[in-house]
Amino acid sequence: MLGLASADSAAVGATAVQLERAMHIGNVKVGLLVTVSTAVAAVATLPAGVLTDRINRARLLTIAVLGWSVAMAVSGMVTSYELLLATRVALGVLSAAAGPTVASLIGDFFPSAERGRVYGFVLSGELVGAAVGLFASADLAAALSWRVAFWSLGVAGALVAWVLWRRLEEPARDGSSRLQGHVDKKDEAVAAKEAVKEGVRPHEHLVLREDPTPKPLWWAVRYVLSIRTNVVLILTSALGYYFFSAIRTFPVVFLKSRFGLGTLALDAVLVIVGLGALAGVQVGGRLGDGLLRRHHLAARPAVSGAALAFAAVFFGIGLLTHNVLVAVPFFILGAAGLGAGNPPMDAARLDVMPPRLWGRAEAVRTVLRSAGEALAPVTFGYLSVQLGATGSVDAQHAESASTSSAVALTFLLMAAPLLIAGLVLLVVGSRTYPRDVATAVASGA
């Protein structure tokens, strides 16, 4: 489901030229297509989180994917920008179930010691989805039509829904359905055991004494925002996805304007950089898990913070150069850092939250994270125009000197929050994480 949602956002950017010509729109309205669906998904995630904590998650996810597929197919049939924008609203509502259900299912299927590694696989699906949305949609739009590109994603979604219906079973919420991988039984609650071993004391006023499942949404929101590490993780996740959303939506614009790349060279650069991100996702999750098993309790927030700061520095260096051969290695390293930051961050969120609140906690995180993510594409479009770029991504305008400088400067400005996110996680998150783990343990995690 995360892969489908990511493919959808990337497809909007990949078909931007054809959409602009068909709908008579520019960069800002293209960005708005992504912004609207992301913003609507953020709002709809709150009720989705409540449902995740109370009903069958496997069925909830299956129905959401099937509905998403229908909406995607309809979006390929519309004849005006207003109708296309309306289908984006429907897509946002239906994709809202992804975050809470995925987080909750991972928590109940997999033990603590391997959740970083598992999140690495899940987030790899998100990156692969972005790549499919970018390359397949661009090729289909160029060869046939942007409508065919959207219809193909609808078909893919229907296949995913069928697989979920046939293969995904609902796990027990007490952890008895966990799928043991390479981790020994003694390592199952490794973060919790490390907190107990080190004598970390919980925040007594936050320890839950009763089942939080029937609690109202307002109570859950207040509780999850009282967990300091969770607030830090929400903030850093929002800043990280803010940058990722921009580069996922407008990579073609940047590479064409900055380096004047042709289609083959453009595809090659995107593939290589994408492979760097995939490698980072796999390494980041495993590194956080491994250090945690070696008794470094704050390993997950520390690894994540270092990775995001690393990404900001190398992306910044790459953005300042005009030579594609010099820039690409820095983009690869930046993408690897960006990818490596997410799996340990996601695993840490499960560590600091009681299991019966995983769905609603992820919903709250998604709402606040999505606020930044939703603003990124339209902010990029607006800033790029204000800084001197043309209002179109049409190839005949993309390589002008003014557009090149404006787009590069826009990306550079949007990379600054990434550095802030990494530093906040390193300095603050690593300090608050142990006590919040201990609090989750005392609450029955």
Residue 180 is assigned to a structural domain of this protein: no
| pLDDT confidence tier of residue 19, bands split at 50, 70 and 90 | confident
For the segment 127-161, what is each residue's pLDDT rounded down to a tens digit?
888 777 777 777 777 778 778 888 888 888 899 99
On whether the CB atoms of residues 420 and 239 are closer than 8 A, the answer is yes
Q: Chain-wide mean pLDDT for the chain? A: 81
Residue type, 311: A
Whether 155 is in a domain gets the answer: yes
Q: How far apart are CA 309 and CA 327, in angstroms?
A: 18
- Which tokens in the block code for residue 258? 């900055």
In the structure encoding, which two tokens stand for residue 311, read together? 């990404």
Assigned domain for 179 exists: no
pLDDT, greater one: 414 or 65: 65
Separation CA 397–CA 380 (nearest Å): 17
Q: Read out DSSP for 144-161? A: T-HHHHHHHHHHHHHHHH
Rounded mean pLDDT, 387-392: 58
Give the C-alpha separation, 430 to 301, whole Å.
5
Residue with tokens 């997410």: 342
Quick check: is 291 in a domain?
Answer: yes
- Is residue 210 pLDDT above 60, yes or no? yes
CA distance linking residue 61 with residue 67, whole number of Å = 10
The answer to whether 37 and 91 have CB atoms below 8 angstroms apart is yes
What's residue 398's pLDDT? 45
> Which region holds residue 171: left if phi is over 0, alpha if psi is between -120 and 50, else beta?
beta
Q: Is 363 domain-assigned?
A: yes
Element (H, E) at 132: helix 115-143
CB atoms within 10 A of CB 154: 19
Q: How many domains does the chain have?
A: 1
Q: Is the pLDDT of residue 165 over 80?
A: yes
Residue burial 243-257, b: 16+ Cβ < 10 Å; e: rest: bbbbbbbbbbbbbbb
Query: If you average pLDDT over residues 338-358, what whole number do you get?
Result: 90
The CATH number of whichever domain residue 242 belongs to comes to: 1.20.1250.20
Compute the average pLDDT of residues 260-270: 78
Q: Residue 227 pLDDT more than 50? A: yes
Distance CA 429, CA 420 (A): 13
pLDDT of 302 over the 90 cut: yes
Residues 46, 52: contact at Cβ < 8 Å? no
Answer left, alpha or beta for residue 357, where phi above 0 means left and psi between -120 and 50 means alpha. Answer: alpha
Helix (H, G, I), strand (E, B) or coil at 82: helix
SS3 6: helix
Buried b (16+ CB within 10 A) or exposed e, 377-400: bbbbbebbbebbbbebbeeeebee
- Contact between 59 and 113 (Cβ < 8 Å): no
Q: Which pLDDT value is given to residue 393?
A: 45
pLDDT digits (tens, 9 = 90+) for 393-436: 444 444 455 566 777 777 788 778 888 889 999 999 889 998 89
Q: Supply 347's token pair.
A: 């695993």
Q: SS3 of 97, please?
A: coil
SS3 assignment, position 96:
coil
Q: What are phi and psi of 295, to 5 degrees?
A: 75, 25
Give the C-alpha separation, 143 to 276, whole Å. Answer: 28
Q: Is residue 65 in a domain? A: yes
Between 112-116, 217-221, 366-370, 399-403, the lowest mean confidence (pLDDT) is in 399-403
In a domain, 309, yes or no: yes
Q: How high is the pLDDT of residue 411? A: 76
More confident residue, 341 or 37: 341
Q: How confident is the model at residue 111 (pLDDT cuts 50, 70, 90)?
A: confident
Is 386 a residue whose pLDDT tops 80?
no
pLDDT tier, 193 (very low <50, low <70, confident <90, very high otherwise):
low
What does the alpha-carbon distance between residue 316 and residue 93 come to, in Å, rounded to a whole number? 35
Find the Cα–Cα–Cα–Cα dihedral 7, 169, 211, 116, rounded to 10°.
-50
Identify whether 119 is part of a domain: yes
- Domain of 373, in residue numbers: 2-169+187-442
Query: Given this model, what pLDDT does residue 32 score?
Result: 74
